[in-house]
């Protein structure tokens, strides 16, 4: 898939370049007023070459008392070539180009053995940022499969749980590579579970990751042609190539700004979106109407993204800035291979690997096993439009974008249900499987047979739960109903009344085949700004309405629900002179309120993973000193539902026109939030109370606080610009 994708896209780029150059060279240049007899070669006299070279480093700590360490030392260059092309002047008023090459080198993999493949030996217990070292039990578990515990981290190691270990963990890899290498597993889910999990050390070292969309054509970050001409009663602009599209008026939030994903694996949301927004191969056509009646500066544009689907980057777990989401995804993909092998020993994953003594077992999965990403084709691209106009004192922007979202929803393809009476019957001996009530319940005897493969499949194997088999069932074939609370063998098989509706999956579910899924949705956006002269405020409003979005809803048997989502941001900006602080330069002060509303879904610790309504407030202040040689800013964000926040700031000193140094800090504040983990509830150690931060609990995070103080950092950037 990857090689085919590379081939197709490489071909497309080559074709476009060839067409562009052919047109440029084939069409004779004509005199144009002001350009004289300039030909294509004259264009290079007007080429502007700009860019920078910098080093960005992070000093990270939990307490900054004894455990601070360098977590990143990245060297990056950006070389930008831009200028006119004096060709096709009969057809276009202007024909221009822009290319940005952005190679980088993350040296942390070579200067420190805390990251990447440098984690040799079992004594590498250090884990940077969130997560910890696997506990003793899991260390032994890993060794049993021929794995080096030093290559793994474990998140939420202090999760309260019943059981002799006193702790239940979810492990994830800390080293790159194409496989996890679980002994006894014929396939390896790393390359298929989610984007870029199989990145190599060099991919991470040089920033050639899937999430940056620079795994192909590295180090070309952006590259496009611009065409300008008059026609259709106005002015026209066509930009085609690898580019960014920036819509909307909100800072920090992406309501309308959803055409391009962002890569949080770089520096979370601390860096500007300009640096972390991922350019995509796309085309923009804009027509400027000018003034129409009371409307001023009217423009309409169409965007078509024909690139492959690219997700929002959550960070490869071996990267310094792997967020909690990135490590969680790896944890669930790794767990898929590890626990599938542990729980179904002596079986083959692949029919071609089956032998008499090692039968093929289909649906042998326990967690995230597949990324059902949209295939690359022209139909799966994103398409959208934007209209802008000024009406009186308002500048209005209306957008609509129809595309696959850049974050997935995870849902069950099949659930593993323990084949015990209490799981497969309703306490009265009647099977509660399948869901088709017309056929009536299937008896336990019938279940023991092969059964209807369309409805369920006997997975086989044994588990600690009394040697019961596990049956892989399609979620729609499961009835959730209240199971009685009863005891057998001194163990309770029931849940507390308040957890009743999740009882079945939590009590009897034992993982399954979890897939990342995407649904093409439409997002309508509206934003506007106006200047209020008496107060001096600039007021910004942005809102979006996404229809029929796929949502993670753990109250649903397959964990997927549908719903609409309404988001809004209200922001105010004001340059304000605070003379006793700075008599000559105003402070740029900004504040925003952000809200999300899911009108159709139930939320809480069960249900959709975000609250029905949640709010985030941000503040931002920037000022300049020393004739703008010293620039400093501070910001803060706080989420009311999660009660978490992030604060930070930086100071940039422009040493000369070329050199600058920036020092910054970021602090994350927040606590743990737990959410129902459905069929993984047994892994929490207390299926009757199956709430954990692992997985969906993390989605309760609002303003980044879930990263907590384990990711607190000081950072620096030394840059030479040209």
Partner 1 sequence: MKRFTAFSFLAACSLLWAQTSVWAQSGDPTQYTHDTFVQWFSQSKDAEPEFKAGDVLTHADLPKVKPFMFPGYFEQYEKWNDGSLQMEVVETYHVKAHQTVLECDEKYQKQVSLAADGALENYVCGYPFANDDIMSEADDSVAGLKVAWNYDKRFYWRGYFVANALTTWLRFGGTHTAPEPTKPPDAWIGDEVDLDTDWEYDTEKIYGGGGTYERSLGTFYHKAYHSQLPMFPDNNYNLPENDDAGTVHWKEFTGFFEPYDVRGTAFIIARYIDPRRTDDGWAYVPSLRRVRRISAEVKSDSLMGTEHTLEDFYGFSGRPLEWDWRFWGKKKFLTVHAKTKWDDDGVRYGGPDGWLNMDVWQIRELFVVERIPKDPRHPYKSAIMAIDPETWETWNHVAFDRKGKLWKLWQWGYQWSDDSKRYKYMNANRGAIHWRNVDTVDIQNGRGNLWREYGGGLPDFSMDFINGLYDLNRLTELHR
Q: Which of residues 41-80 bind partner 1 (CB under 8 A)?
A: 46, 48, 50-52, 80
Minimum distance between the CB of residue 31 and partner 1, rounded to whole angstroms? 11
- If the CB atoms of residues 38 and 151 are measured against partner 1, the closer one turns out to be 38
Q: Which is nearer to partner 1, 286 or 713 (CB)?
A: 286
Binders in 617-636 for partner 1, by CB under 8 A: 624, 626-629
Q: Given candidates 654, 667, 679, 694, which one binds partner 1 under the rule CB under 8 A?
A: 654
Give the pairing of strands 368-371 and 509-517: parallel
Between 226 and 349, CB nearer to partner 1: 226
Segment near partner 1 (CB under 8 A); pick from 133-141, 144-152, 248-256, 368-376: 248-256
3-state DSSP call for residue 10?
Answer: helix
CA angle 526, 529, 533 (to 5 degrees): 155
Task: Provide, rounded to whole angstroms, the least separation between the CB of residue 181 and partner 1.
Answer: 43
Nearest approach, Cβ of residue 658 and partner 1 (Å): 7
Q: CB neighbours of 30 closer than 8 A, spacing ≥ 6?
A: 89, 90
- CA angle 393/399/402 to nearest 5° reads 175
**How many residues contact partner 1, by CB under 8 A?**
72
Tokens, residue 275: 């640096």
Say which residues have a Cβ less than 8 Å from residue 511's Cβ, sequence separation at least 6.
339, 365, 366, 367, 416, 679, 680
Q: Tell which one of 15, 577, 581, 593 touches partner 1 (CB under 8 A).
A: 577
Which of 4, 34, 65, 438 contacts partner 1 by CB under 8 A?
A: 34
Binding of partner 1 by 32 (CB under 8 A): yes
Closer CB to partner 1, 62 or 652, in the complex: 652
Q: How far is CA 536 from CA 239, 586, 623, in A?
A: 36, 13, 17
Of residues 276-335, those binding partner 1 (CB under 8 A): 286, 288, 290-291, 296-297, 299
Instruction: Report 658-697 residues binding partner 1 (CB under 8 A).
Output: 658, 660
Q: How far is CA 716 from CA 54, 58, 75, 275, in A?
A: 10, 7, 12, 16
In terms of CB distance, is 456 or 620 closer to partner 1?
620
- Report the residue number, 77 or 444, with the smaller CB distance to partner 1: 77
* Binding flag, residue 653, partner 1 (CB under 8 A): no
- Give me the residue label for tokens 């990342």: 516
* Identity of the residue, 111 or 655, whose beta carbon is nearer to partner 1 in the bound complex: 655
CA atoms of 189 and 198, how far apart (whole Å)? 9
What are the two backbone dihedrals, phi and then psi, of residue 88, each rounded to the nearest 5 degrees? 55, 40
Q: Give the whole-angstrom CA distance, residue 373 versus residue 307.
A: 13
Phi, psi of 382 (to 5 degrees): -95, 145
382 beta partners: 305
Distances from the Cα of 446 to the Cα of 441, 450, 454, angstroms: 10, 8, 15
Half-sphere exposure of 305 (CA within 13 A, CB side): 27
Interface pick for partner 1 out of 246, 450, 581, 593 (rule CB under 8 A):
246
Q: How many CB atoms lie within 10 A of CB 248?
A: 22
Residue (of 307, 301, 106, 105) closest to 223 by Cα position: 307
Query: Using CA atoms, how far apart are residues 239 and 220, in angstroms rounded to an integer?
Result: 17
If the CB atoms of residues 289 and 360 are measured against partner 1, the closer one turns out to be 289
Round to whole Å and give the CA distance between 204 and 208. 6
The least distance separating partner 1 from the CB of residue 596, rounded to whole angstroms, comes to 22
DSSP letter, residue 263? B
Q: Is 94 in the site for partner 1 (CB under 8 A)?
A: yes
Of 442, 400, 195, 197, which is closest to residue 304 (Cα–Cα)?
Answer: 400
What distance in Å separates the CA atoms of residue 525 and residue 381, rounded to the nearest whole number? 19
CB of 249 to partner 1, least distance (A): 7
* Residue 8 contacts partner 1 per CB under 8 A: no
Q: Which stretch binds partner 1 (CB under 8 A): 62-70, 93-101, 480-488, 662-670?
A: 93-101
Reduce the DSSP state of residue 714 to 3 states and report it: strand
Site pattern 140..179 for partner 1 (x: CB under 8 A): ----------------------------------------
CB of 536 to partner 1, least distance (A): 5
Identify the residue among 6, 192, 235, 597 touching partner 1 (CB under 8 A).
Answer: 235
Distance CA 387, CA 275 (A): 26
Q: Does 387 engage in binding with partner 1 (CB under 8 A)?
A: no
Minimum distance of partner 1 from residue 255's CB (angstroms): 13
Please, which residue, 437 or 579, has the CB nearer to partner 1? 579
**Contact present, 58 and 715 (Cβ < 8 Å):** yes
579 binds partner 1 (CB under 8 A): yes
In angstroms, what is the minimal distance from the CB of 655 to partner 1? 10
Spell 130-153 as b/e; 16+ CB within 10 A means b: bbbbbbeebbebbeebebbbbbbb
395 binds partner 1 (CB under 8 A): yes
User: If binding is defined by CB under 8 A, does position 256 make contact with partner 1?
Assistant: no
Distance of alpha carbon 167 from alpha carbon 117, whole angstroms: 28
Tokens representing residue 452 in the block: 């209807």
Q: Which of 4, 26, 33, 41 binds partner 1 (CB under 8 A)?
A: 33
Site for partner 1 contains 363 (CB under 8 A): no
Q: Examine residue 10 and tell whether it contacts partner 1 (CB under 8 A).
A: no
Stretch that binds partner 1, among 150-158, 365-373, 420-428, 654-662 (CB under 8 A): 654-662
Is residue 19 at the binding interface for partner 1, with CB under 8 A as the rule?
A: no
Binders of partner 1 among 506-545, rule CB under 8 A?
529-531, 533, 536-538, 540
Site string for partner 1, 443-482 (x = CB under 8 A): ----------------------------------------
Where is 20: in which H helix or E strand?
A: helix 2-26
Residue 225: CA atoms inside 13 Å, Cβ hemisphere, count? 18
- The residue from 406, 573, 644, 686 that contacts partner 1 (CB under 8 A) is 573
Name which position in 55, 148, 586, 643 contacts partner 1 (CB under 8 A): 586
Query: 212 with 278: CB under 8 angstroms?
Result: yes
**244 counts as binding partner 1 under rule CB under 8 A:** yes
- d(CA 200, CA 318) in angstroms, rounded, equals 10
274 binds partner 1 (CB under 8 A): yes
Q: Which is nearer to partner 1, 62 or 96 (CB)?
A: 96
Q: Which is nearer to partner 1, 547 or 658 (CB)?
A: 658
How far apart are CB 297 and partner 1 at their closest, in Å? 5
| Least distance CB 632 / partner 1 (angstroms) | 13
- How many angstroms separate the CA atoms of 242 and 99, rounded? 9
């Amino acid at each position: 898939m990857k090689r085919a994708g590379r081939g197709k896209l490489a071909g497309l780029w080559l074709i476009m370049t060839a067409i562009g150059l052919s047109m440029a060279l084939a069409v004779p240049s004509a005199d144009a007023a002001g350009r004289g007899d300039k030909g294509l070669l004259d264009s290079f006299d007007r080429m502007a070459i700009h860019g920078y070279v910098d080093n960005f480093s992070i000093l990270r700590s939990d307490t900054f008392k004894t455990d601070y360490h360098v977590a990143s030392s990245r060297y990056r260059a950006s070389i930008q070539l831009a200028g006119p092309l004096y060709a096709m002047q009969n057809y276009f008023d202007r024909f221009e180009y822009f290319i940005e090459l952005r190679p980088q080198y993350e040296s942390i993999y070579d200067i420190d053995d805390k990251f990447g493949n440098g984690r040799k030996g079992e004594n590498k217990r250090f884990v940077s940022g969130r997560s910890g070292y696997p506990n003793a039990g899991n260390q032994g578990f890993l060794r049993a499969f021929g794995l080096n515990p030093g290559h793994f981290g474990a998140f939420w190691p202090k999760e309260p749980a019943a059981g002799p270990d006193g702790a239940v963990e979810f492990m994830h890899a800390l080293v790159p590579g194409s496989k996890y290498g679980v002994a006894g597993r014929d396939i390896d889910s790393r390359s298929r579970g989610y984007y870029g999990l199989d990145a190599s050390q060099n991919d991470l070292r040089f920033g050639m990751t899937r999430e940056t969309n620079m795994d192909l054509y590295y180090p070309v970050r952006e590259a496009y042609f611009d065409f300008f001409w008059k026609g259709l009663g106005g002015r026209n602009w066509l930009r085609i190539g690898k580019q960014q599209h920036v819509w909307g008026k909100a800072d920090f939030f992406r309501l309308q700004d959803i055409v391009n994903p962002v890569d949080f694996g770089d520096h979370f949301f601390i860096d500007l979106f300009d640096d972390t927004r991922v350019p995509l191969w796309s085309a923009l056509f804009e027509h400027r109407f000018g003034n129409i009646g009371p409307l001023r500066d009217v423009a309409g544009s169409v965007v078509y993204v024909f690139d492959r689907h690219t997700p929002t980057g959550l960070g490869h777990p071996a990267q310094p800035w792997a967020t909690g989401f990135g490590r969680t995804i790896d944890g669930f993909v790794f767990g898929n291979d590890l626990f599938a092998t542990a729980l179904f020993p002596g079986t083959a994953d692949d029919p071609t690997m089956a032998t008499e003594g090692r039968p093929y077992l289909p649906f042998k999965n326990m967690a995230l096993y597949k990324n059902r990403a949209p295939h690359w084709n022209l139909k799966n691209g994103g398409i959208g439009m934007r209209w802008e106009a000024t009406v009186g004192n308002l500048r209005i922007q209306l957008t609509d974008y129809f595309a696959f979202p850049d974050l997935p929803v995870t849902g069950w393809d099949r659930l593993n249900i323990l084949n015990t009476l209490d799981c497969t019957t309703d306490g009265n001996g009647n099977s509660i499987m399948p869901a088709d009530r017309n056929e009536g319940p299937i008896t336990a005897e019938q279940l023991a047979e092969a059964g209807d493969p369309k409805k369920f499949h006997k997975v086989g194997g044994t588990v600690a739960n009394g040697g019961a088999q596990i049956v892989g069932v399609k979620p729609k074939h499961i009835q959730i109903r209240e199971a009685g609370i009863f005891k057998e063998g001194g163990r309770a098989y029931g849940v507390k009344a308040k957890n009743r509706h999740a009882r079945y999956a939590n009590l009897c579910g034992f993982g399954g085949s979890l897939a990342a899924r995407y649904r093409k949705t439409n997002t309508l956006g509206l934003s506007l700004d106006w200047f209020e002269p008496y107060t001096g405020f600039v007021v910004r409003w942005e809102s979006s309405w996404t229809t029929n979005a796929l949502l993670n809803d753990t109250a649903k048997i397959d964990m997927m629900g549908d719903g609409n989502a309404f988001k809004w941001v209200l922001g105010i900006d004001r340059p304000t002179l605070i003379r006793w602080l700075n008599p000559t330069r105003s402070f740029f002060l900004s504040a925003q309120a952000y809200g999300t509303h899911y009108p159709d879904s139930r939320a809480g610790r069960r249900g959709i993973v975000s609250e029905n309504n949640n709010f985030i407030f941000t503040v931002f202040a920037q000022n300049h000193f020393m004739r703008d040689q010293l620039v400093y800013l501070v910001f803060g964000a706080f989420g009311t539902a999660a009660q978490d926040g992030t604060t930070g700031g930086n100071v940039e000193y422009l040493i000369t026109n070329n050199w600058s140094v920036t020092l910054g800090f970021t602090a994350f504040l927040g606590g743990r939030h737990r959410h129902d983990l459905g069929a993984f509830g047994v892994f929490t150690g207390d299926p009757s109370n199956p709430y954990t931060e692992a997985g969906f609990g993390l989605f309760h995070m609002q303003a980044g606080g879930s990263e907590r103080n384990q990711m607190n950092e000081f950072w620096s950037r030394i840059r030479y610009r040209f």
